[in-house]
Structure formats: C-alpha cells, structure tokens
Amino acid sequence: MKSLHTQTIEELRSSLSEGASSSVELVEQLFDVIEQDAGRVGAYISLNREQIHREALQADEQRAQHGSNSLLGIPISIKDLINVKGNPCTCSSEILKGYISPYDATVITKLREAGAVMFGRVNMDEFAMGSSTENAALGTTSNPWHLDHVPGGSSGGSAASVAADHAIASLGSDTGGSIRQPAAFCGCVGLKPTYGRVSRYGLTAFASSLDQIGPITKTVRDAALLLEVISGFDPKDATSLDAPVPDYSAGLDQSKSLKGMKLGLPREYFMNGIDPEVEQAVRAAVGKCRSLGAEIVDVSLPHTNYAISVYYIIATAEASANLARFDGIRYGLREEGANPAELYAKTRAAGLGPEAKRRIILGTYVLSSGYYDAYYKRAQQVQELIKEDFKKVFKKCDALLAPVTPTPAYRRGEKTHDPLKMYLDDILTTSVNLAGNCALSVPCGFSEAGLPIGLQVIGDHLREQTILDIAYQYEQNTDWHLRKPESSHE
Amino acid sequence: MSENHSMNVAYIARLASLELSDQEKELFQAQLDQVLAYVDQLNEVDLSENICQLNRGLSLSELRDDVAKESISHEDVIQNAPASADGCIRVPKIIDQ
C-alpha cells in the first residue's frame, strides 16, 4: 500500500474507512516528512501539531461511531490569509504578527462540517501580491521539483505542500492566477471557481471584486471533492451566488469521452513570448483532447493584450482601500507615534513589504483626484470589453484550452528586481478573474529540465462541472499527474 | 493619462498613510513610472461604441434586512489590539485641548 501521506483524498477515503489506517497515523506521517524536509521545500508558516493531532483523533473517534462525512479525517493545508478561529493568520506580513483570528472563514466552517482536519498554514506572497512566493516576510518556499526554483504564487505554499506530499490537498486563493499558476509550476491541479461560487467571508481581502478561494490538489477528482464542500451561497458574503452546488465528483465518469464537446483555442494565448516547451506541451494536450473526441476550434479574445493593464489598475485600486485597515490600531503590529496619523504611517512603513507598498501607492494614484477617469474608469470600461470577448466565445464553445503560464517555473531571484516583468507573466490568467469565469490548471507535461507544465481549461460562469469533466478525461488518459518530485535535485 | 508617465510618489504615499525612506521613494518612482508607461496602452482601446455602460454596485432593494446577530466577542477584539486599557483600545491623543 502507498504511504498514507502520498495518497489522494479519494484513496484516503477508502483506506481510512476500511479501518486499516487512521487519521492520527496520517497526520503523524505528514509531520515526519515535513520534519525530514527541514525547510527545504518550506511550504509551512505554522503547524500547530497539538491542535492537528486533536482534530485527527476526533475524526478517528467519529469514524469509530460510523461517521462518514466526505472529508472525515483528511488533512488540508490552508493558505495563510484564510481565517481559522484561534490560529494566527499572517498573510505572510510583519504587519499581522501576533494577530489571532477570532472567527472561522465560511470555507473553514464548511471543511469542519465535512470532517476535514485543518493542517497547518502555508506560505504565500504578502497579502497575495506576487507570482513567486518571494514577497513573503516569514520564510522561503521552494519548488519541490527544483529547489532553487520558485513554486509560483501567490498560493506557492499551497501548491508546494501538495506537490511535495506535505499535505493531502490545500486551499488557496486566486485574484489574478494565484491558484492556477503555482499549481502549474508545481504539477498540481488548481481550480479558480466562478466569482461568487465560494464565499469570501473570512478571506483577507486583496481585490474584493476578483478574489476567489479554491482547491489545489493532486488530482482532478480531489479538486471536485473539495470544491463541492466549499461552494455555496453565504449570506455573509454579499457577492456570493445563490445557485445550487452540483455533486461535482459524482459527475466525473471515466466511461465518458469528450465527444460532442467543442473546445476553443484562443489565438491570443499562443502569441509571442510563450516558451516553446510550454507551447509544445499544451498543443500536445490539445491533440489528446481531440483524440478523445473533442472538436477543436480557433477563437479570438481580442482584448487579451490589455488584461494586465486593466488588472493592475483595478486590483491595486481595491488593494489600496482594503489594506487601509492595517493601521496599527485594532490588531497586528503597532509603531507608536505622537498622533494617530504618525502612528499609521510608521506602522505601515515598518509592517508592509515593498510589493504591498508599491501596489498601495499605484492603487491610491489611480483613484486620486484628476486621475480616476483616466485610469480607474477607463480600466473598468476595458474590463467590460474583456467580459464581452468571453461571452461571445462561450456562445460557440463549451470551454477554452490554453497554457497557464508563458514559461515553466524560473529560478529564485530572477524577476524580483523588475516588478513589471513579473506582472507581465500573469497575461494568461488575469482575464479569467476580470471576467469572473472559472478555470483550472491540470498537469500536461514537463520541460527538459524536469519542471511541470500546466494546461488551462477555462469555463463560462458556473461551468465548473464542464472544466472538471474535460480535465478529468484528459488526466485519466495521461500519466503526468502520477509523477512525483524527488525534492532532492538542486 | 499622464503624458510623462510620472507620479509624485512622495505625495501619493502621504495620501496612503505610508512613510517611505528616500531610497524607497527613488526605487518606487522608477518602477511605478515604468508600470504607468505600460498601462498607457489602454489609450489605444476604442471606447467610442457605447457598450461600456457600467452597472456596478448593489441597488437598495438587494440589501438584506438589518437584523442584529451574534458577532465576535468584545474580549476577542481587545485580545488582538496592540494596546488596550479598561476594555478599550488605546490610541494616541486625537483632540488637542
């Protein structure tokens, strides 16, 4: 039998229910491998062993009393910007040092109801601002496939924990690609749900109109299992959608094919700047989908080239307002000042990292008097054109296929001095957030250097089942998801 | 949009209640000017067609009823405050006598 910690949610559901193994054994195996790793992958910011052990024990007791909740005893790592009552929630920032969450986020309440064990808090870019987990004040996380490469970001700790078998699955968040990009870099499945599908209550806000929580997992079925637990209407989130939640995992059927599916290839996603190895792997995956019965059609999303500009105006504008709450008064770090204004400015200077400061300044600027119409309002107007582009293509396609990232993971430090260069890498993911669609990344190959490559499947609003179906058929007919990193080659 | 792609970083930082070192001011000025020069590409977009009617925000009829519900305890709130006294958050003097 495979070691417990290397198993998927699906596999653990049977191994745990057969009674041969326990959740306590499972979390102890995870503690061991994390300890042996000695911070080389470094996915975790904090790991409350006592609490995790207690929750695992409770799950085992429930199972003994014939409890059969869907995630009973399954440990899930949590990106450190989702509130879990009684735990720190640092957002990888010095400014939240000492903060203890006074409540559970709705996704955590739902995970608890399903019996999951909250397993440790994973690293991220500060306040989810970044694409490499290098903007992190509290530790370094590496790509398990090549330890001198970045895991992607901002949910880099989530993806690294899953890829290295340091967690069974993880919750991340995606504002401009922060679930899909690290999932692609680390060879995991990562799904950004439709805006409003999953409650944001208890998610520390970066850009409220774009943020969504979603799963990062070892397989497509695991993503479906986690998604069906965390989705659903929440009166505590005014943007939450009141739509029924399908039984996503039950919908996945190996005997189905892609016959009758029409999949679009947006030509703007295969333009200059895409690494040849990425393009080759994605085109091969498209060929595989065709051989599984899908009809492939060329489509155009003509405003794709403007997505980065629109995104960095809208996201930073919202961030500048959302991060105003970190002022040293109610929680976290405080640097004393002679008056409140001085206290705010000194606290924020000491507690926020460079990328958060840059984005607050840019966001304040685009909302400031005299510049609002030129930047913010224009960006909103172009955002409407991006939405129209997607509406048009989804009239003729069931879903779209594309790369997730222009390149595989890069070396640490390669892009940290050039923020614009780092921003431009988000070109293939931000449009989906701006349009509110759902999308996922599924492993579709490796570069010659042994770094994973992801295939992006993009769906219309609330078409999570469709993109899961496509990714599942592809995954079941390939074996990329079965490869494991050695976590030893530097 | 600004034609010379420049913002007064020091002034904007004050608006955002952010104290910056001279080194940060210089670095952010250069980096953000580059970003502003890039986002100027939005000027190319033809917005003459009136398809961009923005309909954002909630209408009053969509708001939920204002019902008091149990919330976070006073104790939990004070526990997170960096400075407190007598069950209140302590702050520097706001009003001069």
pLDDT single digits (tens) A423-465: 988 999 999 999 999 999 999 999 999 999 999 999 999 999 9
> What is the per-residue pLDDT across A336-381, written as a single tens digit (0 to 9) for each?
999 999 999 999 999 999 999 999 999 999 999 999 999 999 999 9
Query: Which residues in chain A are contacts of B34 at CB distance < 8 A?
Result: 419-420
Of the candidates A103, A361, A380, the beta carbon closest to that of B9 is on: A361
pLDDT computed for residue B5 by the predictor? 66
Res. A489: pLDDT tops 90: no
Straight-line distance from the first to the last Cα atom of chain A, in angstroms, rounded to the nearest whole number: 29
Q: What angle do CA A66, A71, A72 make, to 5 degrees?
A: 35
Confidence of residue A19 (pLDDT cuts 50, 70, 90): confident
pLDDT computed for residue B57 by the predictor? 56
Cβ contact, residue pair B39, A364, below 8 Å: no
Average pLDDT on A400-417 reads 96
Amino acid at A331: Y
- Chain B: residue nearest A327 by CA? B17
Of the candidates A235, A364, A419, the beta carbon closest to that of B15 is on: A364
Task: Please indicate if any CB of chain A lies within 8 Å of the CB of B81.
Answer: yes
Query: Which residues in chain A are contacts of B92 at CB distance < 8 A?
Result: 336-340, 342-343
The DSSP call for residue A201 is T
The verdict on residue B82 lying in a domain is: no
Cβ contact, residue pair B80, A99, below 8 Å: yes
The verdict on residue B21 lying in a domain is: yes
The verdict on residue B35 lying in a domain is: yes
Res. A404: pLDDT tops 90: yes
Residue with tokens 């006073």: B74
Structure tokens at A406: 């222009």
d(CA A466, CA A287): 18
More confident residue, B4 or A271: A271
DSSP A47-106: --HHHHHHHHHHHHHHHHTT---TTTT-EEEEETTB--TTSB--TT-GGGTT-B-SS--H
Average pLDDT on A386-402 reads 97
Task: Please indicate if any CB of chain A lies within 8 Å of the CB of B78.
Answer: no
Of the candidates B28, B51, B92, the beta carbon closest to that of A340 is on: B92
Amino acid at B57: G
Where helices occur in A378-479 by DSSP H, the ranges are 378-396, 419-424, 430-435, 464-476
Amino acid at A327: D
Domain annotation for chain A: domains and CATH numbers: 4-302+388-482 (3.90.1300.10)
Q: What angle do CA A310, A90, A340 make, to 5 degrees?
A: 80
Confidence of residue A400 (pLDDT cuts 50, 70, 90): very high
Average pLDDT on A50-79 reads 95
B94: buried, middle or exposed (CB in 10 Å: 19+, 13-18, 0-12)? Answer: exposed
d(CA A428, CA A313): 17
The verdict on residue B56 lying in a domain is: no
How many Cα atoms sit within 13 Å of A432 on the Cβ side?
39
pLDDT computed for residue A75 by the predictor? 98
- The set of catalytic residues of A is 79, 154, 178
d(CA A426, CA A184): 13
**What burial letters (b/e) apply to A7-19, b meaning 16+ CB within 10 Å?**
bbbebbbebbeee
Q: How many structural domains comprise chain B? A: 1
**Owning domain of residue B16:** 9-43
Residue with tokens 């910056």: B20
Cβ contact, residue pair B16, A419, below 8 Å: no
The verdict on residue B73 lying in a domain is: no
pLDDT computed for residue A490 by the predictor? 35
Query: Which residues in chain B are contacts of A344 at CB distance < 8 A?
Result: 17
Amino acid at A295: E
The verdict on residue B75 lying in a domain is: no
pLDDT computed for residue A271 by the predictor? 82
pLDDT computed for residue B31 by the predictor? 95
Cβ contact, residue pair B92, A343, below 8 Å: yes
A91: left (phi over 0), alpha (psi -120 to 50) or beta: left
Q: Report CA-CA distances (Å) from A276 to A279, A392, A479.
A: 5, 29, 21
- Strands A189-192 and A438-446 come out as antiparallel
The verdict on residue B74 lying in a domain is: no
Decide: A52 and A120 in contact? Cβ < 8 Å: yes
Average pLDDT on A62-79 reads 94
Res. A62: pLDDT tops 90: yes
Of the candidates A320, A380, A381, the beta carbon closest to that of B16 is on: A320
Chain B, 8-67: which have a CB under 8 Å from a chain A CB? 9, 12-21, 24, 27-28, 31-32, 34-35, 38-39, 41-43, 45, 47, 51-52, 54, 56, 58, 64
The verdict on residue B77 lying in a domain is: no
Q: Give the residues across from A299 on adjacent strands.
A: A266
Amino acid at A97: K
Q: Which among A364, A371, A418 is the top mutation candidate for probing chain B, defined by the most B β-carbons within 10 Å of its own β-carbon?
A: A364
Confidence of residue A333 (pLDDT cuts 50, 70, 90): very high
> What is the per-residue pLDDT across B20-63, written as a single tens digit (0 to 9) for each?
999 999 999 999 999 999 999 999 999 886 555 555 555 666 77
